Structures are given as structure tokens and as C-alpha cells.
Chains A and B, each alone.
Chain A
Amino acid sequence: MRDAFVKTLLEIAKKDKNVYIITGDLGFDVLKPFWECLPDQIINAGIAEQNMTSIAAGLAKQGKTVFTYSIGNFSTLRCIEQIRNDCAYHGANVKVVCVGGGFVYGPLGMSHHATEDIAIMRALPDVTVLSPGDLVEAEQATRAIYEHPGTCYLRLGRGGEKRIHQKIENFTIGKAIRITEGKNVVIFSTGAIFDEVQEAYEILKKEGLMPTIYTFPTVKPIDKETISACAKTHKTILTVEEHNLSGGFGSAVAEVLAELDGEKAKLIRIGLEDKYSSIVGSQKYLRKHYLMDASVIVKKVKENW
């Protein structure tokens, strides 16, 4: 997914000399193609994310489109006030990019688990939040935020995610994408954890259970229309995110659902239950340990069929 991002951004930046990437000294292999091809459009700000983000705001206010790049929480939480005051309040064309949403860097420990970023970023006015689920969504999301004025956040996985789409027609910020059309239960998924949803779907299908599935490449603005429609046509909405349940994607869905009138679907949220992980492990291991893997999704779908 990160490679798809860099490849796409490189294509964009070749055509638009006003596009810059500024990294907080990370992206050793990942940014290499960009560095080799467009050395004048990439800046290493050093391990100094606050300054990096303000520099990006300063450049953006002079007409550039600037992508800030780091991993885990470094491009977001470490410099959240710079994003709020310098970027968002000023409508600066800064695109904050994080590689490693969720437990991508599972073995590296709690500092590197990005599990509150969606909640924090979506709390900021004038920040558009995207969390693509595969490399096709990552590519489309990269193009979309480049074209979208103002401050955006792009939460990426790492690499090796399974492909969801062959291609996407009419990718639009704020629109969910339907993957399957089923009944009873609808699964809303954001980000790379779609792998688990897909695995769950294969298991369920063999048992004759076909839920509806949507992927949400955009968390803010949330697709109210899809949520409202599904709430009327399905018994249960199941949200899946590799993120804390407090304030995250499931919460965004809950906010819409809570304000709907009349009969509506029940909501079940799968995600991290308001804790930090003090154990380490692969992304797959931690998803299982924290009850957000395919087996949990299968169980919840069955319980609510």
C-alpha cells in the first residue's frame, strides 16, 4: 500500500512541480524511487515532526501541495497542534501521511502502534480523513487528496495487503464502496484490516451466509447516505477497524446511526477495546489477540444473522 502511494505520488509530482514530500527522516526504501527521480521535490526535515509540519504549512501557504510523511504516530500525534493550528486552521494544502496504521509495526511495541490516530484526526475541523483498504484504494486516495483542497490525512497500511478491487470507477472522497450485496448483516470496514473481512467472508460463504460488505476509504466526511440506507435494509451493522473503539471509525458510524429516526439496524463495533498493547507480535497475531480477526468477524456475523 505504501509503495502504491509513493508510485502514485511520483506520477503526480512529475506533472506538478508544486508537489513536495517532506519526511521526518523515515521511508528508507519506500521513498527511494521518489528520491531518485525527483530529488528537488523531496525534503528530509530530520527527526523533528513539529517543525516538519509547520514547514509544510509555510510552503503550502505559498502555493505548494505538501505531503508530510512518517510512520505510526509520528506524522500525527507528535505534531497534532501543528496540524490543527498551522495546517487546518489556515486551510493549508498539507497532506499528512502515516504509514503503519494499526498494528503494522506490531513487534516494535506500543510507541509504534497507531491506534488512536483516526479518532484524533477526525476530531479536527477542516481535516479530511482517508483510510484506504488496499493498494487500489491507496492509489485513488492519493490522487483524491492531491486534488482535494485543504488539509487531509492519509492512513496507510504497509504492504502485502490483499487486493480488494481490480479497479475503482468514480472514487469519491466521502463515498463508501460496496464489495458484496447480501442480507441481514452489513459489514463496514476501513483500512487494511479488510484482509480479515475478506477472510471472514470466504468462511461465511461456504456456510451459506452472505453479508453485505462496504469498504470505507473515507472516514471523514463519513458516508451518511450509505449508513442510513443500510440501517434500514439490514438487521445489524458490524464495523471493523484496526483502531481504538473510542472515537474511531465505528464511533463515526455510531454518531450517524444514533441520530437516525425510526427502526434501524443494531450496531456492533469490532476494534481495540480502549487499551494500549504491552505485548508485541505480528500484525496478524495482534489482530487475533485483540479480537479483531476473521474468526471474531465470523462469530459476530453468525450471532446476528
Chain B
Amino acid sequence: MNSEQLAWLIRRHGVEMTHISHGSHIGSVLSVADIVAVLYNDVANISPKNLNDENRDRVILSKGHAGAAIYAALAEKGFFDKAELKTHYADGSRFSGHVSHKNIPGVEFSTGSLGHGGCVAAGMALNAKLDKKPYYTYAILGDGECDEGSVWEMALFANHFKLNQLVIIIDHNKMQSLDFCEKTLSLSPFAEKWKAFGWNVFDIDGHSHAQLKEALEEAKRVVDKPTVIIANTIKGKGVSFMEQDILWHYRFPHEGEEYDGAVKELNLARPNGVLDPYMEESK
């Protein structure tokens, strides 16, 4: 499997999971899909076989509401049975809307309340530094999440302690719960803020796997500071009527033209070598 194929499967699972569960945050799942796919497919040294290896890389989804993307990626990478994805949000399920680690192999840390995951990741990166371990800790944050003061506490801390094995990736889809970030609490100039905090900053196209891979690779060459990758994305990416429409922060793809339209559009862009797991099933 390549990362483009995994990203497509994350999007497809995301649409299915939110459709079945009447769950929220499909817009975020679609915007973060490429970041998650590149990390799990090509960059982070994590597999079902090395979960207890202390030198494995750590990935934390700090914007826990996009948990469906992580569950989908882990299922596709063989951490658990793909059939379990259908229990997302369901009564008695362990697959909570916001990502949970309890009894779900591969999830490093549970999140959901914003402004936690980056800080915990910094703790894990500090551990690597203290114990001279080679692993990297990757945390995926939302841009709206950067309203939280704790993110900037962490930004000070990671710079001060020169946590070069910490890589924060911000899914910068420019939207948050109620409106555009710029209309809520302006983040700009976003990259400059991180630079001023002393970070190594990449400002890239967060849907370009080549750019993501290049930035993640280059981050490993930095020895004295933490890295932030501002991954410029489009909320709802891949389903045209969901793109940049705040409605799709919470709305689920309803039965009928919303669900059918989303599936149809995704399938038009389906990479070679991938089958639609749900189309197959219906046959």
C-alpha cells in the first residue's frame, strides 16, 4: 500500500463511519487524512509488531475529534479488524468519537479535550532526550486548537528544552467549530508566531504527500529545536460539497444524495490498486 491509497481509504472509511454512526467531524477527518496516511504509511516506525518496542515512534492525535481517521489508518495497517470500524460511536463500543487508547492497539494516547496532546507529546519527546532514545514523537494538532493557551505553554517548553525529536503537525484547514479561524481568534501570522517561539517551521501543502514526506524527513536533520509543520489543508477535502463549509464540522453524511454523492466523488478519485471496501461488501 502507498500513502495515497491509505489516505483514500481513510477518507472512504471516514465517510462510512460517520454515515453509519451519525457522527461528527467528517470535515476534519477529510482534511487530516493525508497527514495521517503519510505518517502511518511512510514515516512513523510503528507497526502491530513493535507496539511494545520502546524505540518505536509515537503518534498522538491531539485534535481527538478526527479520531475516525486514526482508527481507519490503524485498521488498514493491520492493528485490528477493519470490521470493527463500524462500531464507531455505537452503544458499548470502545471506538469513541474522540480518539481513545483503551483496548485499541496502536493508539498511543487518548485525547478529545484540545490542548493536551501536544503537551503530552512534548513529555514523550523529553523522555527520548533524557534517555537518549532514537524515537520521534509526532503530534497532530488542529489550528483552532491553537486557541488553547496550553499549546503555547508547550511551545515555550519544547523550545527551551530543545526537543528536536518532537514534530508537531498542524492540520491548518482554516476553520474551527463555529467559523473560520481568522474570524474567531486570528492566528496570523501563524508561521511567524512559531518562528518567534524558536521552532523550526515548515509551511507546506498538507495534501501533498511529497511535501509532507520531505518536511518530515528534513525535521530529522534538525538537532537543536522542535519542528512544527503547518500543513495547509482544506476542511472536507475530497468531497466538493463538504469543502470549506462549516456545516460539515458536525453534520454527518445523511442517507441519500449526501452519502451517495460523497461516495461517488471519492470513487471518481480512487487511486489505482484500491478497492472500495464497502462497495465490495455490498456485491
Cβ-based interface call for B122 (8 A): yes
A205–B150 Cα distance when bound, in Å, is 54
Establish whether residues A51 and B124, one from each chain, have CB atoms under 8 Å apart when the complex forms: no
Contacts of B214 in A (CB 8 A): none
Q: Which of B124-168 contact A (CB under 8 A)?
A: 124-127, 130-131, 137, 149-150, 153-154, 156-157, 160
Establish whether residues A85 and B110, one from each chain, have CB atoms under 8 Å apart when the complex forms: yes
Cβ-based interface call for A39 (8 A): no
Q: For the side of the interface on B, what is the size category?
A: 20 to 34
Interface string of B99-113 (1 = CB under 8 A from A): 001000000011111
Contacts of A43 in B (CB 8 A): 126
With both beta carbons as reference points, the residue of chain B lying nearest to A84 in the complex is identified as B113
Contacts of A45 in B (CB 8 A): 157
Cβ-based interface call for B237 (8 A): no
A45–B125 Cα distance when bound, in Å, is 14
Establish whether residues B123 and A57, one from each chain, have CB atoms under 8 Å apart when the complex forms: yes
Min CB–CB distance B107 → chain A (angstroms)? 11
Cβ-based interface call for B65 (8 A): no
Contacts of B154 in A (CB 8 A): 51, 54
With both beta carbons as reference points, the residue of chain B lying nearest to A58 in the complex is identified as B123
Known: A59-B126, A62-B124. 9 other contacts (CB 8 A): A45-B157, A46-B160, A54-B119, A58-B120, A58-B122, A59-B123, A63-B54, A85-B111, A86-B119
Cβ-based interface call for B97 (8 A): no
* Of A54, A59, A89, A90, the contact of B150 (CB 8 Å cutoff): A54
Establish whether residues B153 and A59, one from each chain, have CB atoms under 8 Å apart when the complex forms: no
- Listed by A's residue number, 7 A-B pairs whose Cβ atoms lie within 8 Å are A46-B153, A48-B156, A50-B119, A54-B120, A56-B123, A62-B127, A86-B116
With both beta carbons as reference points, the residue of chain A lying nearest to B150 in the complex is identified as A50
Cβ-based interface call for B115 (8 A): yes
Establish whether residues A51 and B113, one from each chain, have CB atoms under 8 Å apart when the complex forms: no
With both beta carbons as reference points, the residue of chain A lying nearest to B139 in the complex is identified as A58
Cβ-based interface call for B121 (8 A): yes
Known A61-B124, A62-B124, A90-B109; contact A55-B157, beta-carbon cutoff 8 A = yes
* Of A50, A64, A82, the contact of B149 (CB 8 Å cutoff): A50
Cβ-based interface call for A3 (8 A): no
Query: Main SS of chain A's interface residues?
Result: helix
Cβ-based interface call for A161 (8 A): no
Known A61-B109, A62-B54; contact A90-B101, beta-carbon cutoff 8 A = yes
Known A81-B113, A86-B116, A90-B110; contact A50-B122, beta-carbon cutoff 8 A = no
Interface string of A71-83 (1 = CB under 8 A from B): 0000000000110
Q: Which of B191-249 contact A (CB under 8 A)?
A: none
A50–B101 Cα distance when bound, in Å, is 21
Contacts of A48 in B (CB 8 A): 150, 153, 156-157
Contacts of B124 in A (CB 8 A): 58-59, 61-62
A54–B149 Cα distance when bound, in Å, is 13
Min CB–CB distance A26 → chain B (angstroms)? 16
A153–B121 Cα distance when bound, in Å, is 23
A103–B76 Cα distance when bound, in Å, is 56
Establish whether residues B127 and A51, one from each chain, have CB atoms under 8 Å apart when the complex forms: no
Interface centre among B109, B123, B131, B153 (most CB of A within 10 A): B123
A59–B137 Cα distance when bound, in Å, is 12
* Of A51, A62, A64, A90, the contact of B153 (CB 8 Å cutoff): A51
